[in-house]
Homo-oligomer: A and B are copies of this chain.
Amino acid sequence: MSAIMVNRKGIHTFLHATCLFLSLAFLLNSCGQDASQTSEEGWTLLFNGKDFDNFEKLNGNADYAIEEGVMVGTSQLNTPNTFLATKERYTDFILEVDVMVDEGLNSGIQIRSNSLPDYRDGRVHGYQVEIDPSERGWSGGIYDEARRGWLYPLDLNPEARPVFKAGEWNQYRIECIGNSIRTWINGVPCADLVDDMTMEGFIAFQVHSIGREEQVGKQVKWKNIKIKTQNLKHSPWTDIYVVNTIPNYLSPQEEAQGFKLLFDGKSTAGWRGAGKDAFPEKGWKVEDGILIVEKSGGAESAHGGDIVTLEEFSTFELKLDFKLTEGANSGIKYYITEAYGSKASAIGLEYQLLDDEIHPDGKQGTGGNRTMASLYDLIPAHTNKPVNKPGEWNHARLVVKDTRIDEWPKGNNYEKTEFKGAKVEHWLNYRKVLEFERGTQAFYALVARSKYNVWENFGAWQSGRLLLQDHGDEVHFRSIKVRRLD
């Protein structure tokens, strides 16, 4: 403050104050961290910087040492993943730790994890907050070690991928409160998981197994490891994607993001039959929190028929779980218009649901454009898409966003077109497998070459209902959530 106080003469004081203000604003901006997170009280050191008396080594034989108060893990050949685990067990907590890792070594922080005699001979398993110095950049993502695999891959949050820096100290913050597990690196939100499979366990620091001679001796370091278990409060909800595995449960952060349940797990409220006034009397049922379209012989809309939302949507984000039966065919359609009065399934764009292996439609169409997660009969999903088999749950996400404005010559002026919901993304199991842009000349040209060219304005609609398709095969739906992006 002295720079202001030294000089008290009118305009000069004003100038100095302004300059100091600008300088401070600049410093705060370049800092990039949320100051509120560091002002919390009630921290306890999880690691005293002197000994490992509160820890035990599990699962493997990589080396852990203490160097100037820093916990240092060093990779070794011929040993599985190694974990230095707390003897104490934790339920709800906030953990902060600084992490530095060499390039080429994967690592992670286990939370609410366990080693149980009756689970794979004591294999350490459970939530792992990723430490990933590779080009992939999934640090801060959540992996379910030796159990379900990736729960929160950082495809879901591309802004967070470049945040972690190999060879530098990075500050991790992990909040485990109730069914909410959230992570930050250097103040940037990385993952937001709602899951209740395991609510308690140890915390452990991983040295990953290595496969190549040149990885020997690579190190991962942890310091300033502190934990807080009392008076826990959620950090403010952010807008990053929420992976929520609890069926038909709208979490507070999903609610804050504007999501609403399109299926409450009990009733068919919010839906009706396509082209009908009411919900179909047969062909659909709700059982054990699951919305089920029944098997009826594999024909389009021959039994209960498609169902559509009562509401229309323009730009939106839809997420839901679905489970196919063997050989099943169904679909999630959007921008449905019933005005065409089709006798078969209602007309709209379709996120295809299909057992690609068994149902014959997967081999038909052009270039794979009738396979799972494709834009049906128009654009194939990426061939490397991650599909879970019939009988297993899959997660579908559909994002329709942004307004496109085209200008084209019209005499000496422009013809302007505004196109809502121009950008579309199809996601499958938390990975993006298809993106395209409506309202483009290429998209119109593609439709013109397809069977859809008989429907006026096909794919260029600006608003419409969502639809779940009855294709005569049994398919299960749950956790159907939608938010408007208008």
Q: Which residues of A contact B (CB under 8 A)?
A: 2-3, 6-7, 9, 12, 15-16, 18-20, 22-23, 136, 150, 153, 155, 366-367, 369, 378-380, 382, 384-386, 408-415, 431-437, 440-446, 448-450, 453
Contacts and interface: CB of A to CB of B under 8 A. Distances in A.
A448 B7 contact: no
Contacts of A443: 442
A369 B445 contact: yes
Contacts of A378: 445
Given A150-B412, A382-B409, A446 B441 contact: no
Contacts of A435: 440-441
Contacts of A434: 441
Given A3-B15, A431-B409, A445 B385 contact: no
Contacts of A410: 384
A472 to B, nearest CB: 27
A433 B19 CA distance: 50
A131 to B, nearest CB: 15
A379 B445 contact: yes
A410 B434 CA distance: 14
B444 A446 contact: no
Contacts of A413: 136
Contacts of A6: 7, 9, 12
B409 A385 contact: yes
A238 to B, nearest CB: 23
A385 B409 CA distance: 6
Contacts of A448: 366-367, 369
Given A153-B412, A409-B385, A433-B408, A444 B19 contact: no
Contact of A449 (B153, B444, B450): B450
A328 to B, nearest CB: 23
Contact of A441 (B3, B15, B436, B453): B436
Nearest to A426: B441
**Which 10 residue pairs are nearest across A and B when measured between Cβ atoms?**
A19-B19, A367-B448, A409-B431, A379-B445, A382-B408, A449-B449, A436-B442, A446-B446, A384-B410, A366-B448
A268 B335 CA distance: 55
A158 to B, nearest CB: 9
Given A379-B445, A437-B440, A442-B442, 8 more contacts: A6-B12, A15-B20, A378-B445, A379-B442, A382-B409, A408-B432, A436-B440, A449-B449
A6 B3 CA distance: 13
A384 B369 contact: no
A371 to B, nearest CB: 12
